[in-house]
Structure formats: C-alpha cells, structure tokens
Amino acid sequence: MAMPKLVQVFRWLAVLPGAFLCALLVAFPIHWAVELIQLFGGSGDDSAVSIDGKTPLAAIPPEMLERFGYALFTPLVMIIVGVKIAPKFKFHTGIALAVLWGIIFGAGMTFVISQGQYSGWGWLRFAITCLLGIAGVSLGLLRIHKTQKEM
C-alpha cells in the first residue's frame, strides 16, 4: 500500500528531531540501569570475581559507567529510531545519521582534547568512550542492514 506524499514529507521532516529526541530519552534508562547496578552490585559469597566486595561492573565508578552507556547506546538508538521513522531509503538514512553522529562526536572529542583534561589514566577512558561510540554506530548499522536483508 502506497503512502500518501504528505505523510512521506512529514516523516522525512520528523527523522532528525525524532532521532535526537530518542537519543536524549535513552539517557534515563541508562541512568536507572547504572543505579540498579550500583544498588545490587554487591558480590555474594558464591561470586568467583569480586573487587572490594562488588561485582566487576559495580566496581566501575557510576559516573564513568553512565558515560560509557551513553557512548554506546546514544548512536545506536539515534540510528535505529531515525531509520524506523524514515519512509524509504532506510539504510541510506542510517548511513547519513551515522555520519552526522560522527561529525558531532568528533567535534565534541576535539573540544575535550583541546581542554587538556586527560592526564594520568584519562586517556584510557577517552579511548574506551571512542570505541564504544564506534561500536554503537556499527551495531546500529548492522541491525539496519540485517533488517533490510530480511525484507
């Protein structure tokens, strides 16, 4: 069934705002998940691995864990939601959103590097954040590619 032209136009207009809005909204579940990890992250007596009485995931400082979650899930959600909203050319839309995210992420990372706040082990956190961002984009594009292949 063909979609009316007006509906297609409105859906194209909604791609960027919808993708950005959902990328912002994903911050809430990430925060809640980190809080639950911290709350229930005490290792029991039967745990094989514990760090200061916590599970390895709960031993990561909550602010850092939350930032890592943002780095992974923000581009993933942005790409998937933007592609779901787009009426056609879905994989191309996913590529465009990935490039847009890359430009925004690159500008943010350039700003952070120019501030020179990464001393000591800060470079490792920076590298992990970049890798998680790239993984989020890759997973989003992989999901879109698989979905397009199945259709």
pLDDT in tens, 52-66: 677 778 888 899 999
The answer to the question of residue 4 being in a domain is no
Is residue 106 assigned to a domain? Answer: yes
Let me know if residue 41 belongs to a domain.
Answer: yes
Number of structural domains the chain divides into: 1
* 60 within a domain of the structure (yes/no): yes
Q: Give the model confidence (pLDDT) of 111-142 as tens digits.
A: 888 887 666 777 888 889 999 999 999 999 99
Whether 89 is covered by a domain: the verdict is yes
Q: Is residue 55 one of the residues assigned to a domain?
A: yes
Is residue 3 assigned to a domain?
Answer: no
Query: 141 near 98, Cβ under 8 Å?
Result: yes
In DSSP terms, 42 is beta-bridged to: 54
On average, the pLDDT of the chain sits at 87
User: Whole domain around residue 130: which residue ranges?
Assistant: 9-150
Nearest C-alpha neighbor of 85 from the set 13, 5, 142, 1: 13
- Flag whether 1 is in a domain: no
pTM: 0.85
